[in-house]
Amino acid sequence: MKKLILSLIVLAIAFTANAQSNVKTIGIKTSAICEMCKENLEKDLTFEKGVKSVNLDLETKVLNIAYIDGKTNPDLLRKRVTMVGYNADSLPRDPKAYEKLDPCCKDGAHPTPKKGDN
Ligand SMILES: [Cu+2]
């Protein structure tokens, strides 16, 4: 009986270690531009299935995500980012979601300053 309990404990430890090794990280290049974008993306992705942690680096515009492999995958995560209204690597943002963003979050696809604007 003792042996059985012992092997069960060993199994449990092995299982836990295995579950942890299933955590992967990914960096997704987004079109985020301000603090509001950071909040939009982090809030939304936090509640995505399989996501452990989310952090957007505003300087590089890279959304760093730790996720559980098997519960979600990079394609799903990129898709989710586009549904919030931002480009994700080579995936274009969802136009409707982009429309709903606050004005400060719209980059106007590289707006060109008009002459004599000041
Ligand atoms: Cu913004």
- Please work out, in degrees rounded to the nearest 5, the angle formed at the alpha carbon of residue 106 by the alpha carbons of 48 and 111: 145
Residues 55-97: tens digit of each pLDDT: 999 999 999 999 999 999 999 999 999 999 999 999 999 999 9
Q: What are phi and psi of 51, to 5 degrees?
A: -90, 130
Q: What does the block give as tokens for 49?
A: 């299935």
> pTM for this one?
0.76
Tell me how far the alpha carbon of residue 59 lies from the centroid of ligand 1, in angstroms: 13
Residues 15-54: tens digit of each pLDDT: 776 666 799 999 999 999 999 999 999 999 999 999 999 9
Tell me how far the alpha carbon of residue 66 lies from the centroid of ligand 1, in angstroms: 22
Tell me how far the alpha carbon of residue 109 lies from the centroid of ligand 1, in angstroms: 13
> Domains (ranges, CATH) in the chain?
22-93 (3.30.70.100)
